[in-house]
Amino acid sequence: MRHFFYWLILGILGFSLLTACNHHTPQNISSLPKQPTAECRMVKHTMGETCVPIHPQRVVTLSSCTLGNVLALGVKPIGTTNEVYVEGNSLSSINGKTDGIKLLGLSQPNLEATLLLKPDLIIGVDWFKPIYPLLSKIAPTVLGEIDFINWQKHLSFVAESLGKQEVEKALWDRYYQRIEQLKQALGTRYQGKKISFITLGSNQLYIDSKNSFSGSILSDALLQRPAAQNLDSTYGAFPISFEELEKADGDILFVTTYSSGGKKFLEEKQQEPLWKSLKAVQENHVYYVDFMSWAATHMLGTDAVIDDLFKYLVNTP
C-alpha cells in the first residue's frame, strides 16, 4: 500500500488488461521489432530477465507504488499509470512531484500514448503480465512482484532496476532517523493509548491491520493499536460492518476515504449515534488524513504518514 479493496481493483484491472490485450492491440506496437540496447545490464523479474539501460533517461512507471518509489529514488518518470482515481487530480498524492508526468491511464496504460513517449525503460508490477509482450516491444520492461504487506520489497526491486541501491540505503537510513525523531518527540505521551486507523469506501468500512503499510509505520514508532487491529491479515486490512464500529474505536482515530462515495458514506455515518458514541469522537481526537498517502505502499508515502503523526500526535494539543 494496500487494502482489502485493492484486490477488488486488481480483479477489475486483470479483466481490463486481458480485454485490452485480446481486442485492442495497436498494430504499430505488435509489429515493432525488439530494439537492442547498447549499454545495459540484466535484471531478473517476474517475466524472466531483461537487459535494462545502465542510465535510463526516459522511464515509464506502471502503478502508483512504482511511481512513488521511482520518485523517491530521485528519478522523474515521463509517464505513469495510477490505478486509483483521486477526485480532481489522480496524481495529487505525490505532493507536487508529479508535475509534467503524463498520465497514461488508470486501470491500464494507453499503449499508443506510451509508444509516443519513446521510453527507454518501463518498470511496473506483475498485474501487467498479460500485456508484457506488447510493453517489451516499446522498451525494455521489468515487472516486479507486488505484495502490499511486504511493500518494502518493491522498493528494492525498483532500486535494482534503476541501479539506485545506494540511494535506497540512504532512504532507509533517513526513514529510521525520522522514526527515532518521532519516538523522541512522542516520549511517553501515548503510553497505553490505542491508535486506530480506518478507511471508508462506498457503503463499506475497512480496518487496517498491523501489517498494512500504515500499520508498519505505526509499529515502527511503537504506537499501540486497539485489540481488533493488533493482528496481521492477508491483505493488510479487512472489512467490518458498521454495527461492528466499536472495533474501530481508540484513543486516537485516523480516518480516510477513497472516492466520492466514501466521503458521502462517512458524512452519513457521522450523523448516527453509533459513530457519536466512539471515545475518539467524544474526546475530539478524530483526524482525517489523505488516502493516497496512508495507503501509498511506497517510500514517498512514509514521509507523508510520519508528517501526519507529527502534526496530530506531537503538535496538536
- Successive 10-residue mean pLDDT values, the chain, 317 residues: 42 40 46 59 96 96 93 95 61 66 89 97 95 96 87 95 98 98 96 94 89 94 94 85 91 89 88 94 95 89 95 91
Residues 100 and 213 in one domain: no
Residues 142 and 264 in one domain: no
When divided into structural domains, the chain yields a total of 2
Residues 75 and 211 in one domain: no
Last residue of a domain, one of 96, 129, 164: 164
- Region of 200 please: left (phi>0), alpha (psi -120 to 50) or beta: beta
Q: What share of the chain is helix, strand, coil (3-state, %, to 5)?
A: 45, 20, 35
For the stretch 130-143, what's the b/e string if a residue is b when 16 or more beta carbons lie within 10 angstroms of its beta carbon? bbbebbbbbbbbbb
Residue 295's nearest CA partner among 214, 237, 220 is 214
Burial label for 166, CB within 10 Å (0-12, 13-18, 19+), is: exposed
CA atoms within 13 A on the CB side of 272: 10
Residues 237 and 130 in one domain: no
* Predicted local confidence at residue 29, as pLDDT: 59
Which residues span the domain enclosing 289? 179-314
Instruction: Give CA–CA dist 132/141, Å, rounded.
Output: 8
Q: Is 174 domain-assigned?
A: no
Instruction: Give CA–CA dist 299/302, Å, rounded.
Output: 5
* Predicted local confidence at residue 107, as pLDDT: 77
Backbone phi and psi for residue 301, each to the nearest 5 degrees, phi listed first = -65, -30
Instruction: Give CA–CA dist 207/215, Å, rounded.
Output: 10
Residue 204's nearest CA partner among 3, 16, 64 is 3
* Predicted local confidence at residue 98, as pLDDT: 77
Residues 160 and 292 in one domain: no
Helical (H) or strand (E) element with 51: strand 48-53
Q: Is 171 domain-assigned?
A: no
Report the CATH number that the domain containing residue 190 is assigned in CATH: 3.40.50.1980
Helical (H) or strand (E) element with 196: strand 195-201
Q: Is 170 domain-assigned?
A: no
* pTM as predicted: 0.85
* Predicted local confidence at residue 278, as pLDDT: 95
Residues 104 and 54 in one domain: yes
